[in-house]
Structure 1
Amino acid sequence: MAGPSAPDLDRTKLLAARFRAASQRPYLASALYSLSVVPSTAVPTMGVDRYWRCYVSPAFVDATPVEELAGVWIHEVAHLLRDHHGRADRLAPELRRDRLRVNIAQDCEINDDLLADGLPLPAGRVTPAAYDLPPGRLFEEYLPDVPATGGHDCGSGAHGEPSPWDLGAADGTAARVTETEAEAIRRHTAEAMRAHHRNRGDLPAGWRRWAEQVLEPAVDWRRVLAGAVREALSWASGAADYTYRRPSRRGPALRGVVLPSLRRPLPRVAIVIDTSGSMGEEALAAALAEVTGVLREVGVRGDRVTVLSVDADVQAASRVTSADQVELRGGGGTDMRVGIRRALDVPHPPGVVIVLTDGFTPWPDEPAACRLIAVLIGADAPEPPSWAETIRVPRP
């Protein structure tokens, strides 16, 4: 049974717990009081849907102390503030298939922050430590390493899939929050957190990172890098040429004359990789995987991709079809000029050169005779020349 008619809910106790949570963490007050209560005997404990409706088991309220109920209120509203359902919608289908597994990963993201904040939570609440995972990660990072089955169901406001007690979008028996209103609540909460931390200095690290992301959203470097590579490839492949290998379709109209056709060949690509000692392997590998993934998608592979490992000199040059084939050598000084020069000094030079570096390197004095994308690893990487297209990749 689900809905407001569910019997015997101790509202006084439940709302006292919410008041306690809002009083002790005032920066969450607006979000907590945006939740509408829906008593339900179908929900095991408490859960939320996409519309900020909080489903509550009367039996769970009876069995749980007020201080723990306050922690559960914060846990459930954290799913909505962190837009877990929206992020779950963007997962690959094979990862989204097991909603309870997704929920476990999301609970890991939340609960380690709540416990670090000194909040008591009911027994059985999952944490990263229960799976030998490090704290402070996002649920997308935890998901591959959590169990494939089991776990608590926090509702569609968490994993994104309708739960048995979910009233759905059309139901008007309980108040609902629109996505536009939800975004306003998130921003207001983030601003309250920033003010609290400025005045008190005791905002938990997890919430501090979340507030910074909401107020100053980081650019998705993967999307920007993929877009830059695709655009550069499109530009380079626009250099059409004539060929007689495939006669023009207009040829039959002119007897005795063989007309060439236009062709747009796939461009050649050179990836120049900084393998000096200052480079971080994880960020470098992530950027390289993104680049090679885009090249594979658009059909640029095989002998059209050359990878050069460079520190102060070119240590290795090879044609590759995947990131796994790349041979990284080096570890000394840094001079990307020699790698760029080597990449262009071939009978069939590339139309696009992609340089993966931490930026602490000399650059050519003049623009390269092709499209050049500088992928800078690390927030402190200095600016390359203005003629280079720049993508910044944060270190993990």
Structure 2
Amino acid sequence: MTAVTAVTAATTKAAGALDLDKLFAARLHAVRVRPYLATALFALHVVESRRVPTMAVDRHWRCYVSPGFVERTSEEELAAVWVHEVSHLLRDHHGRGDRVARERGLHGPGERLRINIAADFEINDDVFGDGLVRPEGAVQPAAVGLPEGQLMEDYLRRFGLGPHTQHMAWLDCGSGADGLERDWDLGEDGAHGLSEQERDAVRFRVAQGITGRPGNAPSGWKRWAQEAFHPPQPWRELLGAAVRSATSGSGAGDDYTYSRPSRRSAGVPGAVLPSLRRRPPRVCVVIDTSGSVSDGELGSALLEVAAISRAVGGRRDLVTVVPCDASARIAHPLCQAEGIVLIGGGGTDLRTGFATALRSGARPDVIVVLTDGQTPWPSTRPPCRTVVGLFPRERRSAGSWDEDEGHYVPDGPPDWARVVEIG
């Protein structure tokens, strides 16, 4: 190194400029210990910023880096932070954060901080070790008494902000971690961002690297890689949309009433004509409780019942539940959902569930069926809309089914039902 070069380097360091040599050396270390993440790590574009506490990412794959943080952090810890930040982007925490914020009404910076913490929990439980040191201050689920191995959405349901999270208030992994754009983000039109197609290509290459050498990746990354090749259907959104569509369509909830006579009565002297008025729609949920439906699926069904009540405006008094295997139980009002017992375990005949739903009090405007589909269906269309939430099952040959009597191959849901595959 010449004297002039040495003086220039010393001046730059004194001015607090970003030490790119150290930062990129740390990235090379991360690539050596996590080779399947190489494509993603090299896809990040570095942006020097004194407004981030450590390192942060935006949804366009820019990595904002604090010069002071790089200066005071060892190369080994910086490698771990590289892996942590790129994990937010690969796991689409920004998109998932936006979705969960909309679904659960999580507004404001406090709730976005909670999303950031939950996303960190999902990453940090298995990202370190095997050549990657744990950085100082890396948050763990155990800090709030939660188990490892869960997803961001699961963690969000189980902790809130308080004294036990006060030491995490400094966290800011950027909009790439929680979906909330910062004022220091370069934004969609800024330089060096990746397009949506380029981001998808990076994820695909990383997933290829993980599945090609599965023994080198933690279980969380293996699960992610499988979903990258076979993305799960957003069935909760589809089911909610199907229920809302069924309850808002013409005829659902419409009824004639004399409480406000029709204006056409003036044209018929001596007669009072009823007017057509819209009332809140009634929904009956038929839950398949046969032996072929697992306890986990029944638990999921109860969660969906609550979601269905939100899809119709939160009127729990207008939603009833009918547990059904080979015979149907009584229709329970949802306002007493905590007391509903899903009794069953036998064969399946949802025709009795339809019959009970149509006989229970006021006729429903929409019937929602949650089932694995191993059932006979009504031969005629019921006098209301029908939405079927179908638990996934492998298709088998005709000789492999046996439901109490002979070999039984179930028909698919009828054409008059709107079908959404669950899971």
Instruction: Provide the TM-score with structure 1 as the length reference.
Output: 0.81
SS of alignment partner, residue 38 of structure 1: strand
Which of these residues, 125, 135, 150, is aligned with residue 148 of structure 2? Answer: 135
Equivalent residue runs for 1:306-321 within 5 Å = 306-321=320-335
Q: Per-residue deviation at 1:380?
A: 4.8
Equivalent residue runs for 1:204-353 within 5 Å = 204-235=218-249, 237=251, 243-252=257-266, 258-264=272-278, 266-277=280-291, 278-280=293-295, 281-297=298-314, 302=317, 304-321=318-335, 323-324=337-338, 326-345=340-359, 349-353=363-367
CA distance in 2, matches of 1:282, 1:257: 54
The alignment status of 1:158 with 2:177, answered yes or no, reads yes
**Aligned residue type for 1:18:** R
**Deviation per residue, 1:4-33 (Å, 9 max, x gap):** 996243221211111232344444333322
**Aligned residue type for 2:176:** G
**Deviation per residue, 1:82-101 (Å, 9 max, x gap):** 33233333414546531433
Q: Per-residue deviation at 1:267?
A: 4.7
- State whether residues 39 and 55 of structure 1, in contact with CA within 8 Å, keep that contact through their aligned partners in structure 2: yes
**Deviation per residue, 1:285-327 (Å, 9 max, x gap):** 1122122222344x5x53x544222233233333344644534
- Corresponding residue of 1:112: 125
Equivalent residue runs for 1:94-105 within 5 Å = 94=106, 96-98=108-110, 99-105=112-118
CA distance in 2, matches of 1:240, 1:101: 43
CA distance in 2, matches of 1:373, 1:254: 41
SS of alignment partner, residue 54 of structure 1: strand
Question: Quick one: structure 1 residues 288 and 393, their matched pair in 2 at CA, closer, same or farther if it must change by over 3 Å?
Answer: same
Which of these residues, 370, 389, 396, is aligned with residue 418 of structure 2? Answer: 389
Identical residues among aligned pairs (%): 46
Q: Per-residue deviation at 1:177?
A: 0.8
CA distance in 2, matches of 1:85, 1:5: 36
Question: Quick one: structure 1 residues 94 and 234, their matched pair in 2 at CA, closer, same or farther if it must change by over 3 Å?
Answer: closer
- State whether residues 286 and 370 of structure 2, in contact with CA within 8 Å, keep that contact through their aligned partners in structure 1: yes
Instruction: Provide the TM-score with structure 2 as the length reference.
Output: 0.76
**Deviation per residue, 1:18-61 (Å, 9 max, x gap):** 12323444443333223232334443322223443323233432
Question: Quick one: structure 1 residues 318 and 134, their matched pair in 2 at CA, closer, same or farther if it must change by over 3 Å?
Answer: same
CA distance in 2, matches of 1:344, 1:257: 33
The alignment status of 1:36 with 2:50, answered yes or no, reads no
The alignment status of 1:52 with 2:64, answered yes or no, reads no
**Aligned residue type for 1:385:** P
CA distance in 1, matches of 2:178, 2:359: 52
**Aligned residue type for 2:205:** A
- Measured on the aligned residues, the alpha-carbon RMSD in Å equals 3.4
CA distance in 2, matches of 1:82, 1:237: 43
Question: Quick one: structure 1 residues 314 and 185, their matched pair in 2 at CA, closer, same or farther if it must change by over 3 Å?
Answer: same
Question: Quick one: structure 1 residues 157 and 5, their matched pair in 2 at CA, closer, same or farther if it must change by over 3 Å?
Answer: farther
Question: Quick one: structure 1 residues 311 and 67, their matched pair in 2 at CA, closer, same or farther if it must change by over 3 Å?
Answer: same
CA distance in 2, matches of 1:89, 1:385: 33
- State whether residues 80 and 158 of structure 1, in contact with CA within 8 Å, keep that contact through their aligned partners in structure 2: yes
Q: Bigger CA drift: 37-46 or 280-289?
A: 37-46
Q: Bigger CA drift: 72-81 or 142-151?
A: 142-151
Question: Quick one: structure 1 residues 93 and 269, their matched pair in 2 at CA, closer, same or farther if it must change by over 3 Å?
Answer: closer
CA distance in 1, matches of 2:197, 2:15: 31
CA distance in 1, matches of 2:159, 2:319: 37
Question: Quick one: structure 1 residues 287 and 355, their matched pair in 2 at CA, closer, same or farther if it must change by over 3 Å?
Answer: same
CA distance in 2, matches of 1:320, 1:144: 22
**Aligned residue type for 2:331:** A
- Corresponding residue of 1:76: 85
Q: How many residues align?
A: 382
Q: Per-residue deviation at 1:170?
A: 9.1
